[in-house]
Amino acid sequence: MSSLRPYSVLAGKAVRYIARLRGGGSALPGLFVEKIDASFVRDTLGQLPHGVVLVSGTNGKTTTTKMVVELLESQGLKVFTNRTGSNFSRGVAAALLGEVNARGRLKADIAVLELDEAHAVHFVDQVPPRFSLLLNVMRDQLDRFGEIDTTAGMLAHIARATTGTVVVNREDSRLLRVAKELKTDVRFFGLDEKLRTMFPGDDELHGADGTRVKLPQADVVLSELGDKATFTIGGKTVTTALKLQGVYNVYNAAAALTLARAVVGDSLDQQKLIGRLAEVTPAFGRGERLIVGGQPCELVLVKNPGGFRLSLDSFDPHGYATMIAINDNYADGRDMSWLWDVDFDSLQGGGVKQVGGIRAYDMALRLQYDDVPVGHVDTDLTKALRQFLANNAAVPKRIYCTYTAMLALRRDLGKLTDVEDVR
Amino acid sequence: MKKQLTILQLYPRDMNIYGDHGNMLALKRRAEWHGYEPRIIAYNPGDIFPDDVDIVIGGGGQDSGQDKIVADLLKIGSQLKQLAENGVPMLMICGLYQLFGHSFKTQDGHVIDGIGLLDVTTVAGPERLIGNIVTHSDDFGDIIGYENHSGQTFLGGSVHPFGAVVRGAGNNNQDGTEGARYRNVIGSYLHGSLLPKNPAIADWLLEQAATNKYGEFTPTVVDDHLAMLARKHAVRRPR
């Protein structure tokens, strides 16, 4: 440990405090401590008896990470996580600063971290994870990553750096190829044959035929999905109700269960595990339900065509007023092409009452080509939200939003209702 | 009976990166709005190449997607060239724009042959050219889109540029050109998707197709106010 450590930790904590007073983001104090003490994250996480768990993939990282944390807590582990959703390395450093004592000690048994693929490849060179979870590879932010095959290569790098067990989605053909090359312990989660059509992978989303290679045995399989979900866990079936909505969230529960089983091993208490799973709610902005003016208002984050399609398939628009908010800031991706890879036919019946965000007119144009009736369009998101709430006061509402639009909407909704603080 | 227009989509399974579906959809819907009946044919490797085609469109792909289609493309190259000589309108974006040229030289010096329908040559560049782009054409006015390519394309003497770069990189980040035109064939790097946000180009493709087949194009007035507003806001966005 660096002899400067107590000073860098205290100084970092001070920056964090000031940044929070200013209402700033979570990455700044992390950047600060990264600059003055590069080994801080590695040394601090290196102390943990159960090591580091890394969750990566295109869609579902945040909610899956939340599930893994809660499942491990159900087994009595004290878990550190970067739950701000700041899934860059700096966000991890910032989250650590909030938790360590002045001597740089972290009181936790294990860390569960969500990392953006591009950051994770560098992170694992510093901090090799004991466990990693690879969820899926879908086309997302090609303006940042270039190609989907490049993204798969990043996840392969993470898997190779993992010292213990790699948990892999066997239904994702690119990840399956990655898994076959690995020399470490690999465990799979998967879907029952009859559910596969509900969960297309990226290639199926783009019209490749669904012919499949023989799949490896999975530790946890999502075998039925109706009002309740049935999982086959180590060969035995378990049925449970869930608070999570959205088919992909439920599938990611299979991922979280596989990972928890790998971490805890033989001493696992399955009854507590499933009991806790039933109580998990979506992460903020991922189907999160707020109450505004006595009516529910759901926020659904959409970042890429695969995720947007899955969300539209997951949530029935009937009985809801729908709004879509599209920004094109760096964190959202600047290219609007992806909107054209999403099919909006399911919204034709009820229409979209309000479109908002910097690229509201790109979205409205997209809806025009799918014959979806559009109510109002405003590039000023605050005005768009106000109008949406006023025009649809008496009905439940659902807002599909890109990342920075979601942050802005939560900020505005926070003035009207209780919104969980996630900084 | 409505007048039919057949649109051939090249390799939608492997060459469909980021929004190429939007170009198909724009042609289909605008053909309908103008009173024609669009017939869409998806052509994938190994399929029988149809002989009655009015418009051909194609998109970009992953490197792995290009590997899958290049042998098939060389097989149908002479048919595509014949269609082009007959004045059939075509729109090729990104990967298929490159493969409609003479060749593509990859980063490691490997040369992939194209069909040479367009007199252009592409070499892999040192950096990806990424960002919002605006070009200008005397025929189409301002052309607004998004580029994301590492190939740098250079034009030969028998094509002219699709647009002159106003803001962005274009074909090669050097000569201020974007895309290429030969007869009624357009090659371009612009995603966005290109046709919905540039309806003048979509209607021009339909006009060439209808005129070839029926001797005239009878457009109706389409409500493009959302496209005009989307263009207005897109132009203001950072690179």
- Domains delineated in chain B: 3-235 (3.40.50.880)
Q: Is the dihedral of CA B83, B88, B92, B97 positive or negative?
A: positive
pLDDT at A421 (0 to 100): 55
Q: Calculate what percentage of chain A has a pLDDT beyond 90.
A: 52
Residue A20 maps to a domain: no
| E-assigned strand segments in A200-248 | 220-225, 229-233, 236-240
Quick one: A236 and A307 in the same domain?
no
Q: How many helices (H) and strands (E) does chain B have?
A: 6, 12
Cβ–Cβ contact B229 with A under 8 A: yes
How many distinct structural domains can be found in chain A? Answer: 2
Q: Is the peptide bond before B193 cis (omega within 30 degrees of 0)?
A: yes
pLDDT tens sequence across A212-237: 567 899 999 999 988 899 999 998 99
By Cβ distance, the residue of B16, B148, B191 closest to A206 is B16
pLDDT at A246 (0 to 100): 72
Quick one: A230 and A329 in the same domain?
no
What is chain A's mean pLDDT, rounded?
85
Helix locations, chain B, DSSP H: 20-33, 63-85, 95-99, 194-197, 199-214, 225-235
d(CA B179, CA B198) in angstroms, rounded, equals: 15
3-state secondary structure of B187: strand
**Confidence band for A150, pLDDT divided at 50, 70 and 90:** confident
- Of the candidates B34, B102, B149, B191, the residue annotated as catalytic is B191
Quick one: A350 and A254 in the same domain?
no
- Tell me: pLDDT of A172 over 50: yes
Burial of A270 (0-12, 13-18, 19+ CB in 10 A): middle
CA angle B1, B5, B11 (to 5 degrees): 145
Residue A292 maps to a domain: yes
pLDDT at B230 (0 to 100): 97
More confident: B77 or A244: B77
Give every CB contact of residue A369 below 8 A, 6+ residues apart in sequence.
B22, B25, B26, B29, B196
Residue A1 maps to a domain: no
Residue A157 maps to a domain: yes
Q: Which residues of A touch B24 (CB under 8 A)?
A: none
CATH number of the domain encompassing residue A216 = 3.40.1190.10
pLDDT at A3 (0 to 100): 55
State the DSSP code for B236: T
- Tell me: pLDDT of A130 over 50: yes
B94 given a catalytic annotation:
yes
Quick one: A339 and A320 in the same domain?
yes
Nearest residue on chain B to A327, alpha-carbon basis: B237
Note the pTM of the prediction, 2 decimals. Answer: 0.75
Q: Which residues of B touch A328 (CB under 8 A)?
A: 237
d(CA A188, CA A168) in angstroms, rounded, equals: 5
Structure tokens at A115: 């990392």
More confident: A90 or B149: B149
pLDDT at A44 (0 to 100): 86
Quick one: A242 and A304 in the same domain?
no
pLDDT tens sequence across A363-414: 999 999 999 999 999 999 999 999 999 999 999 999 999 999 999 999 999 8
Our CA-based measurement puts residue A174 at a distance from the nearest CA of chain B, in whole angstroms, of 12
By Cβ distance, the residue of A328, A369, A377 closest to B25 is A369
> If DSSP states are collapsed to H, E and C, what string results for A342-379?
CCCHHHCCCCEEEEECCCHHHHHHHHHHCCCCEEEEEC
Which residues are registered as beta bridge partners of A237?
A232
Average pLDDT over residues B75-103: 97
d(CA B31, CA B5) in angstroms, rounded, equals: 8
Mean pLDDT lowest for which of A12-16, A184-188, A305-309, B69-73?
A: A12-16
Q: Which of A238, A259, A279 is the last residue of a domain?
A: A279
Average pLDDT over residues B186-195: 96
| End-to-end CA, chain A | 28
Quick one: A160 and A181 in the same domain?
yes
- Tell me: pLDDT of A321 over 90: yes
Residue A339 maps to a domain: yes
Q: Which of A279, A311, A335 is the last residue of a domain?
A: A279
**Confidence band for A306, pLDDT divided at 50, 70 and 90:** confident
**Confidence band for A138, pLDDT divided at 50, 70 and 90:** confident
- Tell me: pLDDT of A76 over 90: yes
**Confidence band for A423, pLDDT divided at 50, 70 and 90:** very low
Quick one: A67 and A193 in the same domain?
yes
CB A71 within 8 A of CB A269: no
Do A340 and B196 make contact, defined as CB atoms within 8 angstroms?
yes
CA angle A254, A259, A264 (to 5 degrees): 125
Phi (first) and psi of residue A125, to 5 degrees: -70, -30
More confident: A59 or B163: B163
Do B22 and A328 make contact, defined as CB atoms within 8 angstroms?
no
Average pLDDT over residues A87-101: 72
Residue A7 maps to a domain: no
CB A193 within 8 A of CB A224: no
Nearest-CA neighbor of B76 among B91, B106, B56, B103?
Answer: B56
- Tell me: pLDDT of B168 over 80: yes
Do B19 and A146 make contact, defined as CB atoms within 8 angstroms?
no
CATH number of the domain encompassing residue A340 = 3.90.190.20
Residue A39 maps to a domain: no
Residue A3 maps to a domain: no
Please report the number of interchain residue pairs, chain A to chain B, with beta-carbon separation below 8 angstroms: 98
B191 given a catalytic annotation:
yes
Calculated CA dihedral for residues A28, A329, A339, B228, nearest 10 degrees: 170
Tokens 């700044």 label which residue? Answer: A28
pLDDT at B217 (0 to 100): 97
CB A72 within 8 A of CB A274: no
Do A334 and B192 make contact, defined as CB atoms within 8 angstroms?
no
- Tell me: pLDDT of B170 over 60: yes
Quick one: A362 and A329 in the same domain?
yes
Quick one: A57 and A190 in the same domain?
yes
Q: Which of A279, A295, A318 is the last residue of a domain?
A: A279
pLDDT at A247 (0 to 100): 75
Phi (first) and psi of residue B4, to 5 degrees: -90, 145
Quick one: A133 and A255 in the same domain?
yes
Our CA-based measurement puts residue B40 at a distance from the nearest CA of chain A, in whole angstroms, of 15
More confident: B97 or A282: B97
**Confidence band for B17, pLDDT divided at 50, 70 and 90:** confident
Domain that holds residue A295: 286-413
Average pLDDT over residues A154-170: 95
Quick one: A133 and A269 in the same domain?
yes
Nearest-CA neighbor of A408 among A307, A294, A325, A302?
Answer: A325
Average pLDDT over residues A73-94: 77
Average pLDDT over residues A58-64: 86
Task: List the A321-325 sheet strands across, edge first.
Answer: A286-292, A295-301, A397-401, A321-325, A352-356, A374-378
- Tell me: pLDDT of B126 over 70: yes
By Cβ distance, the residue of B128, B191, B227 closest to A365 is B227
Nearest-CA neighbor of B107 among B87, B82, B128?
Answer: B128
Quick one: A371 and A274 in the same domain?
no
DSSP codes joined into one string, B4-35 = EEEEEEE-TTTS--SSHHHHHHHHHHHHHHTT
